Structure 1
């Protein structure tokens, strides 16, 4: 089942259960997917493009969450945590730290990187492998750690 079909099904269920928060998040994600399809001039996005949109939505909320925590806005923090929980359901299973570290080391070896100067080369080869399965900031820190 495609992501859009899954979202439609969950949206109907959220309407039946009167889950306003979940319904709102699903509608926002659907709108983002449709906007991306329009931007790319397509009728339907492929799985990778859908994953990119989902990852962007997740990242936006995580960034906002951090800002709200720093500002002491607990009401908004709770709201965003609920939105993140809804979005996580549609993301692929996240890599464990061990799996991520193994992929990082393999990629560093495959591109023969030895210094931080080659960080861009490593990240360019690595990110498509872990797209949607790991946080980019975490990946970046691991690559820096192993290249220093």
Structure 2
């Protein structure tokens, strides 16, 4: 994943795409921050799965920021956030559709043997492990909760 980011940064620099350059640098800075935190905690560098989690979090943050900017009628800043979201999403795996998420949640519930809301944590942990960066876990949480009730 790191090599892909480095290669994409070089391509963006050659092409003069300033938005892409700045966004990739932001991604690399977030990864470096997580690396430093991991080293401080006595762990190794972050792996690709953790990088996908960082990217998903960055998309969520920018989506929230864009919404706030739109409410404040700062449309140029909202547009900037949306452009950054598109760059970040280009590094994430294809997102699963609503019906696919529902089917996968049902399958995980069956696999884990969940029979009530107290097993929701197990189900969510399994989903995050199996499908990192492929679904919105906030929405998946609602689906799991509905299926377990």
Unaligned runs of 5+ in 1: none
Q: Is the 8 A contact 2:31 2:51 kept in 1?
A: yes
Mapped to 2, the partners of 1:48 and 1:95 lie a distance apart of 17
User: Which SS does the other structure have where 1:72 is aligned?
Assistant: coil
The residue aligned with 1:21 is 19
The residue aligned with 2:3 is 5
TM-score with structure 1 setting the length = 0.86
Where in structure 2 are the equivalents of 1:1-148 lying within 5 Å?
Answer: 3-41=1-39, 44-148=45-149
Aligned-pair RMSD on alpha carbons? 1.9
Question: 1:114 offset after TM fit, Å?
Answer: 3.6
**Does 73-82 or 103-112 show the bigger shift?**
103-112
User: Which SS does the other structure have where 1:110 is aligned?
Assistant: helix
Count of matched residue positions in the alignment of Structure 1 and Structure 2:
146
Mapped to 1, the partners of 2:112 and 2:10 lie a distance apart of 47
Write out per-residue CA displacement over residues 91-122 of structure 1, whole angstroms, 9 at most, x where no aligned residue. Answer: 01212223211110011223333433433332
**Does 120-129 or 83-92 show the bigger shift?**
120-129
Question: 1:66 offset after TM fit, Å?
Answer: 2.5
Question: 1:80 offset after TM fit, Å?
Answer: 0.7
TM-score with structure 2 setting the length = 0.86
Mapped to 2, the partners of 1:48 and 1:55 lie a distance apart of 11
Question: 1:124 offset after TM fit, Å?
Answer: 2.6
User: Which SS does the other structure have where 1:29 is aligned?
Assistant: helix
